[in-house]
Amino acid sequence: MGFEGIGASVRRREDVRFLSGKGNYTDDINRPGQLYAFIVRADRPHARIDGIDTAEAEKAPGVVRVFTGADMAAENLGGLPCGWQIHNQDGSPMAEPPHPVLAVGKVRHVGDPVAVVIAETRQEAKNAAELIEIRYTDLPAVASLTDAVAAGAPEVHDGVAGNICYDWVIGDKATVDAVFAKADRVVKLELTNNRLIPNAMEPRAAIGDFDTSSGDFTLYTTSQNPHVIRLLMGAFVLHIPENKLRVVAPDVGGGFGSKIYHYAEEAIVTWAAGKVRRPVKWTAERSESFMSDAHGRDHVSTAEMALDKEGHFLGLRITTLANMGAYLSTFAPCVPTYLYATLLAGVYKTPVIYCNVKAVFTNTVPVDAYRGAGRPEATYLLERLVDVIAHDTGIDKVELRRKNFIPADAFPYQTPVALQYDSGDYQTTLKVALANADWNGFEARRAEAKARGKLRGIGISTYLEACGIAPSAVVGSLGARAGLYEVANIRVHPTGSVTVFTGTHSHGQGHETTLAQLVVDQLGVPLSQVEVVHGDTAKIPFGMGTYGSRSLAVGGSAMVKAMDKIIAKGKKIAAHLMEASVQDIEFKDGSFRVAGTDKAKALHEISLAAYVPHNYPIEELEPGLDETAFYDPKNFTFPGGCHIAEVEIDPETGVVEMVNFTAVDDVGRVVNPMIVEGQVQGGVAQGIGQALLESALYDPHGQLLSGSYMDYTMPRANDIPAMSVATENTMCTHNPLGSKGCGEVGAIGSPPAVINAVVDALKDHGVRHLDMPATAPKLWSIIQAAQPRLAAE
Amino acid sequence: MPQVTLTVNGRQHTVDVEGRTLLVELLREKLGLTGTHVGCDTSQCGACVVHVNGESVKSCTMLALQADGDSVTTIEGLAAADGTLHPMQEMFREHHALQCGFCTPGMVMTAIDLVNAHPSGLTEKEIREGLEGNLCRCTGYHNIVKAIAAAHPLMHAKAAE
Ligand code: FES
Ligand code: FES
């Protein structure tokens, strides 16, 4: 066996399964006697439901039952709960209107579930759904943030005045205003963060199963966090106690946040399975995904920086409108607050910051965390603003960043927006990225491109994020209705092989490999003797799942703690077997050794003694070698780094070609470099998608215009360049692994780098800023409009 | 109900299908070959790509009845009987060209056809263009492109044996 521990690019153990077609995704599962659910969804953004006639559908071939919101309401089922409560600046709690599983009274967005048909086959359910007659009275609707907050705008929820979910602030306005009043210069930028649709390649699916003999429910679902779903659905929606409800999230085909939330369909199939006493399966068609998966981003902001004469940042003042959609998705309220505004210091020592966020209801699909969640919005705002400051002041954009960086010797560093960073070295990541991207050679490349008739630009982003989510008491004080620790159970079997039961969930991250590497490292067991189990509430202890780049920093730390307990117990057993004192036992490379002697017992000898306790300190020690640990992080972790994008624009067409992309990230300790690179590459591709291609568009009345892959531009292989990805790491100081997290850095750091490059390419065209996505028609118009002026010069 | 007879991964099957049954539905639901995935309803993601008579086809765009008499290979049929992976599968693993694995079966099937169609070699640009019909949300394509480039010489060396 080669080196398989921390730091080895071990090839993934899950791959053979996926490469052979042996993956077990939710839609691959079929239960005996299974029925199919088809969900009838609102085809209009806002309407009163005057009546639903299901009589014809109920008589259609194959149909078993049809349910509507009234059926669920009759059983006093709960609505879909929201997991985070934000308070307004006046101290009152946010508006939290009900979110019925199936619409009651009104529909509020295109895609809102109204009824469900349960039938013998998928096709029969779908055919019958066409026979359901819903009588609506259309109501005026709002889709955009600016329309929703305009005076006299239609109200999405009765009694939520002005469609404001909350009006929240961080920082002291008077202090910040005073700094602005005395500043030498103020630079202002208005910008939007475009709405995105996550589009994990596996559409969501759910199967409800009901055991008629035991009365137990099982839900198979495409989830990033099965225990969270069990708690939310069992306790708040269906009133099923945990012991009667099992949630299985098997292989999941990508999540990116969109599979964190408790969705209506999960409750529908579980409840319906109990009603019809047969398993019920639902699989989203992609067009349903577009109108029912939580969307991401969608901010409109105004940002102002106060500066002194040399370009030092003195104060930052921001107002943001954030779209919540029609209902509050599970974690939606925390995204534009504690995952956004607390990041507005970025890598800079800006001394005072004020941010006001108004979260707004609209007649659109709910918006929640999507890869990066709040942090891409903060980073985009800051890194665009810094480039615009460079543009307006004439200060070199790299120099401007350097002079405002938090220095490497300033950690721990308390920002003015609540977070305390533990470690980082922004000058180093910047320096290495500039070298890797050949920043200094750029002007020659620009000239060469110009000779070919192309406009070439380079853009930089020096970003920071907060992940490893999160200290429970801290998030609790900020409104979380959950703890955010993680759990691991390490089971050393009698012959010394190991099974890890983790509360985290892998849906592409490769945990079956990386988490096993931690065991190799700490217990000295070969990889082939380690198994990682996740995704089934019947097997794993109560853990919070995977999002916010937390699996290694929090879940891995729980494993380290549990393995510490294994070693501590093993030492006692070893001391007994070798007749030595516990203090003299050392554990190294899989062996317990009496210090200074050649007496040793391997882990498997200790585990055998633990399970066959014939010669065993049975008075003081329980048999077995099986330990569980919960780890509650002491702080967030703070990955950061530098991304550099290089683009070429064809002035004839406006098409942007990504020619180079360089990432240098600080993600703390790296367990598997190959997997880290892959995570960064994938995140960067999503960031490039946001910057150049993707946009979830609604017409002013709330019809979703980008509702399929014909209209929503996904990045394809040809849109993404070969990337240079490297890490320059400083260690996280407060978790035992030193790891920070790498899942989101790509999507956080890259969008402003790309837009900064596009703006740089167009610098002769009078462009100071442009909004994402930088599509060809948009750029072509800008280039065309500038032609007369350029010709005249 | 009409019947279709086809060979899938070397085994002949005769199956009752409805006229509108898609090839992918036949594979997944009638034959239990769930390695072939469905990622969209507009024939754009490529998660469903299989080989029909040796050429890559989006099995969501073909009726099962149209495959009558055809020979179909799915991701389950690529590895040798003893489990030895096809060189393309092996290179995907070696170069970390998959994360969640959902796009992977379609990617691998497309990639094999692409390499077969270009015996004299493939540039990076040709590979990227060849993946036009396949979406991956996880990998950023970088490692998929690397894996295909690496599989090319292995596949053609094997073919020359
Ligand atoms: S399922 Fe998407 S192309 Fe066939
Ligand atoms: S590996 Fe997840 S979509 Fe490609």
- B96 and B153 share one domain: yes
CB atoms A19 and B38 under 8 Å: no
Is residue A305 scored above 70 in pLDDT?
Answer: yes
Q: Give A209→chain B minimum CA distance, Å.
A: 19
Describe the strand order of the beta sheet including A185-193 as a list of residue ranges: A164-170, A352-361, A313-325, A299-307, A185-193
Distance of CA A785 to the CA centre of its chain: 39
Residue-level pLDDT at A477: 85
* ipTM value: 0.97
Is residue A699 scored above 80 in pLDDT?
Answer: yes
- B69 and B108 share one domain: no
Q: Does B82 map to a domain?
A: no
Integer Cα distance of A764 and A692 in angstroms: 20
Digit-coded pLDDT (tens) for A417-431: 999 999 999 999 999
Digit-coded pLDDT (tens) for B98-108: 999 999 999 99
Among B56, B77, B98, give the residue marking a domain's end.
B77
Neighbours of A130 (CB within 10 A): 13
Q: Give B143→chain A minimum CA distance, Å.
A: 8
CATH of A299-469+635-792, one of 3.30.365.10, 3.40.50.300, 3.40.190.10, 3.40.50.720: 3.30.365.10
Integer Cα distance of A736 and A733 in angstroms: 8
Amino acid at A761: A
- CATH code at A31-139+204-283: 3.90.1170.50
Q: Ligand 2 pocket test: pick from A201, A224, A289, A714 the residue with the most ligand atoms within 8 Å of its Cβ.
A: A201
Tell me what percent of the residues of chain A surpass a pLDDT of 70. Answer: 100
- Chain A environment of B78 (Cβ under 8 Å): 20
Rounded mean pLDDT, A370-382: 97
Integer Cα distance of A114 and A104 in angstroms: 8
Residue-level pLDDT at A114: 98
| Residue of chain A whose Cα is closest to the Cα of B131 | A717
- B62 and B103 share one domain: no
Q: Give B7→chain A minimum CA distance, Å.
A: 18
- B72 and B118 share one domain: no
CATH number for the domain harbouring residue B68? 3.10.20.30
Number of the ligand 2 atom closest to the C-alpha atom of A508: 2
Strand A656-666, strand A723-727: pairing? parallel
Please give the residue range of the domain that contains residue B31: 3-77
Integer Cα distance of B66 and B69 in angstroms: 9
Integer Cα distance of A464 and A424 in angstroms: 9
Exposed e or buried b for every residue in A710-728, given b needs 16+ CB within 10 A?
eebbbbbbbbbbbbebbbb
- B40 and B19 share one domain: yes
CB atoms B132 and A723 under 8 Å: no
Tell me what percent of the residues of chain A surpass a pLDDT of 90. Answer: 96
> Both tokens of residue A532?
């990682």
Query: Domain limits of chain A?
Result: 31-139+204-283, 299-469+635-792, 485-631
- Residue A508 DSSP SS3: coil
Is residue A1 scored above 60 in pLDDT?
Answer: no
Digit-coded pLDDT (tens) for A307-349: 999 999 999 999 999 999 999 999 999 999 999 999 999 999 9
Mean per-residue pLDDT of chain B = 96
Domain A31-139+204-283 and domain A299-469+635-792 have a common topology: no
Please indicate if any CB of chain B lies within 8 Å of the CB of A25.
Answer: yes
Can you tell me which residue has the tokens 């070696």?
B94
CATH topology of domain A485-631: Aldehyde Oxidoreductase; domain 4 (3.30.365)
Q: Report cis status (omega within 30 of 0) of the bond before A97.
A: no
Rounded mean pLDDT, B54-60: 97
Residue-level pLDDT at A790: 81
- B94 and B148 share one domain: yes
Confidence class of residue B161 from pLDDT cuts 50, 70 and 90?
Answer: low
Rounded mean pLDDT, A243-265: 97
Which residues are A307's β-sheet partners? A185, A313
Mean per-residue pLDDT of chain A = 97
The domain tally of chain B equals: 2
Rounded mean pLDDT, A613-621: 95
Is residue A500 scored above 90 in pLDDT?
Answer: yes
- B40 and B64 share one domain: yes
Rounded mean pLDDT, A158-174: 97
- B101 and B58 share one domain: no
Digit-coded pLDDT (tens) for A523-559: 999 999 999 999 999 999 999 999 988 999 999 999 9
Residue-level pLDDT at B127: 98
Taking CA atoms, A362 is separated from A37, A42, A111, A265, in Å, by 28, 15, 14, 22
Is residue A792 scored above 90 in pLDDT?
Answer: no
Is residue B157 scored above 90 in pLDDT?
Answer: no
Residue-level pLDDT at A793: 73
CATH number for the domain harbouring residue B122? 1.10.150.120
CB atoms A201 and B98 under 8 Å: no
Digit-coded pLDDT (tens) for A189-235: 999 999 999 999 999 999 999 999 999 999 999 999 999 999 999 99
Strand A640-649, strand A656-666: pairing? antiparallel
Handedness of CA A671, A673, A679, A680 (dihedral sign): positive
- B11 and B53 share one domain: yes
Q: Does B22 map to a domain?
A: yes
pTM: 0.97
Between the CA of B141 and the centroid of ligand 2 the distance, in Å, is: 9
Describe the strand order of the beta sheet including A723-727 as a list of residue ranges: A455-464, A640-649, A656-666, A723-727
SS (H, E, C) A330-391: CCHHHCCCCCCHHHCCCCECCCEEEEEEEEEECCCCCECCCCCCCHHHHHHHHHHHHHHHHH
Q: Does B58 map to a domain?
A: yes
CB atoms B139 and A254 under 8 Å: no
* String of DSSP letters for A222-249: --S-HHHHHHIIIIIII---GGGEEEE-
Ligand nearest to the CA of B27: 1
Please indicate if any CB of chain B lies within 8 Å of the CB of A682.
Answer: yes
Rounded mean pLDDT, A55-60: 98
